[in-house]
Structure 1
Amino acid sequence: MIRWLETVARRVAAPVVASLVLLIAGSPAFAADLRVAVAANFGAPAQQLAEAFEAETGTRVAISTGSSGALFAQITQGAPFAILLSADEARPKALVDQGFAVKGSQFTYALGRLVLWSPDAELIDSSPAILETDRFSHLAIANPQTAPYGAAAMEVLGALGLEEELAVRIVTGESIAQAFGFVQSGNAELGFIASSQLATAGGGSIWIVPEELHAPIRQDAVLLEAGNDDAKAFLDFLRSSKGREIVAQFGYGLVETTQPAPSIYG
């Protein structure tokens, strides 16, 4: 599995670097035909999807990233997004239920994978053993109230019986991207991040969290503008074999292709 993650990192490192240049502050500096709100963990693959989609259709896509909770709040307050790519199922469903998204358009586009990572190649021994020691001062996680990866991290600590013991050492980022930044910058020695972020991690040591230690991270997409044909086409592209290939290259799991297509597509 570690070899698989190393392969993922090598395969997408160059595209990720190029994509991140276009994701500065999550604010596009060009006139876009389509605005997409994207959970922070999925920013780089979303940008690569946008570039591939533009190459095929000529439609320019602006990607804005943030925690799923923050994006949800922006959408309910009128932010002009046509699509949400969330890191959970709950918020897209809530948007549909509250009338902010198109009924029947929600589907799972990726299955997230949680890892414990440190830039120190000797700190983590492919197990959670480090969490039971005093060899670190700070553990970074995303905000469990707004970021699904943060909620999953807290589930893992609870399953290990370490939630209370480590509470004073936890540093919380608003999103999984900020949690990753805390570790990358040295403000935390280790942290729970998305496996897709290993592509830009630059080495270190990891523990791949067993999926049974937390609820599945089903990342769902939902259409926010019923009459937006560009948005529907982008969601079609995301579900296509080419789109799924891009998603998989970043280390995400995929649902079976037998998953029913959203009813908006007939």
Structure 2
Amino acid sequence: MLQPMREIEVIGAEVLSLEAHPKRPGMYRIALRLEKPAQSDEAEYGTDAEVTTGSSAAELETFVTVHEDTLIGWRLLKGRRLTGEEWTELKREEEKEEAYRSALGFLERKARSSKELALALKRKGFEPTVIDGCIERLHSRRMLDDTAFAKRFAEQRAVSQRKGRRLIRQELIQRGIGKADADEAVGELSGEVERQSAIELAHKRWPLTKGDYRNRKHKLIAFLLRRGYPMGVVRQAVDEAALRDEESGRDDDEVDADDMGIESWE
């Protein structure tokens, strides 16, 4: 049985076979016979590895999975022999491709900034140099764009989550977006959209806020400020929520009076 390799010293390798990966389009599975110094202990390879020993070297069969571009560029045909240095470089290419495929999977599930994607790849165990190369590759192919991400993020937070531009800017910077891109993203938000968002949130929160009239207003103002809305927008939203509540209360009183057959007075 062919086994994935741990880090060991390899002095040469030979391609035994290759086949298209059954589940990953554009990827190929390459079987190789590795040669390493004879003094290596068989236990180092694992019990399922195919090891042969001679007077000067030990051999082990293993596999790598590479992209078709690597397959062609390296001319990885059956019988192709690699030096120890070439084998090491081929393993690096495999890790780069694995990181790239993982990155595409992360981006397919949800949009991410460069920093968020790098952290996700780090958690999967990829080396910093591999991660940097992967991020650069995605940027060059325009599959990762922090400026575009910032604008979509800002709009989504403002409309769907009812957050103000100050909080949105803070969240963008926490996600690794540069200050210039963050400022541009929140600067493009519609002032009217922000105002309406604050008003809708104030109307929703007012009935849930405890205390007398004055305390309720103070609490709601503090809440909206924490959501990142500017003070001018906050005061307008709170005033409208309080006014609507008062008008709703008067309407309820008039309905109750009519139901009782009592004339309501202005």
Give the TM bin, normalised by the shorter chain: under 0.3
More strand by share: 1
Report the TM-score, using the length of structure 2 for normalisation. 0.23
Report the TM-score, using the length of structure 1 for normalisation. 0.23
Structure exhibiting the larger radius of gyration computed from Cα positions: 2
More helix by share: 2
Higher RCO structure (Cα 8 Å, ≥6 apart)? 1
